[in-house]
Amino acid sequence: MKGRIHSLESFGTVDGPGTRFVVFVQGCPMRCAYCHNPDTWEVNAGTLMEPTEIIEQYDRNAAFYQNGGGLTVTGGEPLLQVDFLIDLFTLAKEKGIHTCIDSSGIAFNRSNAPLLAKMDKLMTLTDLVMLDIKHIDPEKHKELTSQDNKNILDFAKYLDEKGVDMWIRHVVVPGITDDDKYLFELGYFIGQFKNLKALDVLPYHTMGVVKYEKLGMEYKLKGVPAMDKDTVITKKQVVMEGIKKRRAEMEQ
């Protein structure tokens, strides 16, 4: 099963633990206002590649990935190409490679039985999922991404059910995702999960603006300043308080 690939990165350092070989897949149904890869949105674009081609490229620099690194598939939205991921990760696990998916979870649908069966198979081959939760509030999530977050939050529950390690990522955007009420609610939601291994609260940046200009696209957050990194530390503590409250309640 060939995958539609946007690009490959040999030495990723922010896409999971250790140094990683990163596969950027093509296609995404989300339209996040701050997305810095809008060129990955189109589903029928990219380069068709066989899983064996990708593993061959991984092997060229395999020594760099041995100490806690591995293979990460990001995008775009990897879960749009489940069949490809299954084939790729099957090859990876045969070589003992640590596998990670960086996903928004938007393509998950528990009511789709054929898809769920494939997801079950994929999860047996997946060591880690980095799940990006854009906003905990359904309506505000839709405003920010054009999509509802129901299946995204259900995907987090599914990962917990399957015992797949999960890292949560959340981008803090001034005036949009920095409200302490919702940050606490995010923490309270993810605090219930036994598989939660890490929390990345990331500052919004404006580096993607130039790419939109080159593509002739409107940047929806034009004029919104980058988030102060010191403020992000405080915002992460708000999320942590939500986690602590949920876990304290579960222990009662």
> Tens digits of per-residue pLDDT, 53-75?
999 999 999 999 988 999 999 99
Name the domain count of the chain. 1
Phi, psi of 99 (to 5 degrees): -110, 140
93-127 pLDDT tens trace? 999 999 999 999 999 999 999 999 999 999 999 99
* pLDDT value, residue 109: 97
Strand, helix or coil at 44?
coil
pLDDT band at 52 (very low <50, low <70, confident <90, very high): very high
Phi-psi region of 239 (alpha: psi -120 to 50; beta: other; left: phi over 0): alpha
Q: pLDDT band for position 139 (50/70/90)?
A: very high
Quickly tell me which residue has 């999530």 as its tokens.
Answer: 141
Find the mean pLDDT for residues 131-154: 97
* 240-250 pLDDT, tens digit each: 999 999 999 99
What does the mean pLDDT of the chain come to? 96
Structural domain harbouring 42: 3-251
Length of the chain: 252
Q: Residue 134: give its domain's CATH number.
A: 3.20.20.70
pLDDT value, residue 151:
97
Q: Which CA distances in Å does 221 have to 33, 106, 146, 147, 208?
A: 6, 22, 14, 17, 10
Average of pLDDT values for 199-228?
Answer: 91
pLDDT of residue 80: 98
Give the per-residue pLDDT at 209: 86
The reported pLDDT for the residue numbered 121 is 98
Encode 185-210: b = buried (16+ Cβ within 10 Å), e = exposed: bbbbbbbebebbeebebbbbebebbe
pLDDT of residue 211: 86
Confidence of residue 207 (pLDDT cuts 50, 70, 90): confident
Q: Report which of residues 234 and 206 the model is more confident about.
A: 234
